[in-house]
Amino acid sequence: METENPITNQSLAPTTTSEEDLHSKSQRRVNMIWEYTQSLIAICITGAEIYASLKGIQSPQLNNAFFLIVGFYFGRTNHQRVGGIQLGR
């Protein structure tokens, strides 16, 4: 009886060029920096909103900015995989 899928120690041939790998690595780094920046901005505006609320400061502009920034943060950030990119393959 012959086995159909013998186990070997051979690696698969790469399907990308070194230039594509470098591009992907750079893009992941940019994405990671951008996602951390977005989270810092969302934390800062949340802190400002909490501070204003505790001090009794009424500011419709701050309230609108809070919902706009936090809404975009949750709508646009990839929370499952920081620095993730889509290669389209």
With a cut of 70, list the residues of the chain below it in pLDDT: 1-14, 16, 77-89
Sequence length of the chain is 89
Q: At what angle do helices 60-76 and 18-55 cross, to 10 degrees?
A: 150
Q: How many CB atoms lie within 10 A of CB 32?
A: 13
According to the model, what pLDDT value does residue 56 have? 94
d(CA 54, CA 59): 12
pTM for the full model? 0.58
According to the model, what pLDDT value does residue 5 have? 60
